[in-house]
Structure 1
Amino acid sequence: MAFTRIVGKACGFMGYALQTACITHCTFEYVGDFVMCSGPSMEPTLQTNNILFTEHVSPRLQRLRRGDIVICRSPSNPRQNICKRITGLPGDRVRGNFPKRNQVVPRGHVWLEGDNSNNSADSRTYGPVPEGLIRSRVVCRVWPLDKIALISQC
């Protein structure tokens, strides 16, 4: 009798733990998550080791705007995520460091640049980035605590 009660409580606990894990996974995958920024490419807006809250809804609904800071897969290294600002949308004319000095951003792509243009590998190096590589849009900085702030378009 006591053994079945213990097993029943353990199964109940495991069920709640599994539900919590599923809800947490879905929230971080489809709603938003936390990202640690590293590297100097977004200085002075974002510093290395800043922790950012990002949302996943805008990229999925294709509601990104010029000036948004996004987290996306690096076009040159898919194992790495990058943090850059959208400076060009499809149809915009942009300048790059490749044979075509002036280029139009193609449909389904965006032009990404770091705020620290002297120390940033971005679209000026690898060209337009497919919108499908964008994972999330930065909403606010949550760490360090003394610099908590919404990240608005500049």
Structure 2
Amino acid sequence: MRQWKIIAKEAMARASIIAKFFGVLHVTNTYVLSSNHVMGPSMLPTLSITGDVVLVERVSHRLGKLGSGDLVLVRSPLDPKRNLTKRIVAMEGDKVTFSLDPTRSHSSRSLVVPKGHVWIQGDNLYVSRDSRHFGPSSLWAY
């Protein structure tokens, strides 16, 4: 009977270590760093159309360290099940002039990015669905 107590105690100790490991892994993946598979033509030539794996650092936006030129991963406002990888092209307070159709510059519009928002666009303007279609993106969407 004593042997079973030793085995049970050892099993509980190992289960505790495994639970702690998965807890740390979950917190790290959710709040610090994770990987994401990115596919599609909207970020050509920066990212491959056939797919790239990117590391997603999840701390900078909480510290207010995002800036123009940064790549960000956001939940699509058009389809919340999808994530989008885009580039920040303007910060709050910046004036943006854009056209839904890049081949028609005469149909452009301008706006000032509101407080707490950024303007995101894909590098391949001809196929990207971005802030030109759904407006400025909240900084808290990251």
Q: Given the two structures, how large is their TM-score scaled by the length of structure 1?
A: 0.82
Match of 1:21 in 2: 22
CA distance in 1, matches of 2:10, 2:138: 49
RMSD, aligned α-carbons:
1.5
Deviation at 1:97, TM superposition (A): 4.2
Residue type at the aligned position of 1:25: H
Unmatched tracts of structure 1, length 5 or more: 135-154
Match of 2:127 in 1: 119
1:109 aligns with 2:117: yes
Pick from 63, 66, 72 the counterpart of residue 64 of structure 1. 66
Query: Which consecutive segments of 4 or more residues in structure 1 shift more than 4 A?
Result: 97-100
Match of 1:10 in 2: 11
1:127 and 1:97, CA in 2 relative to 1: closer, same or farther beyond 3 A? farther
SS at match of 2:42: coil
SS at match of 1:84: strand
Match of 1:54 in 2: 56
Q: Is the 8 A contact 1:92 1:104 kept in 2?
A: yes
Indicate the percent of aligned positions where both proteins have the same amino acid.
38
SS at match of 1:117: coil
Residues 128-143 of structure 1 mapped to structure 2, 5 A cutoff? 128-134=136-142
Q: Is the 8 A contact 1:73 1:80 kept in 2?
A: yes
Residues 70-81 of structure 1 mapped to structure 2, 5 A cutoff? 70-81=72-83
SS at match of 1:83: strand
Higher relative contact order, structure no. (Cα contacts within 8 Å, ≥ 6 residues apart): 1
CA distance in 2, matches of 1:78, 1:11: 40
Deviation at 1:84, TM superposition (A): 0.0
Q: Given the two structures, how large is their TM-score scaled by the length of structure 2?
A: 0.89
Deviation at 1:96, TM superposition (A): 3.4
Q: Is the 8 A contact 1:96 1:127 kept in 2?
A: no
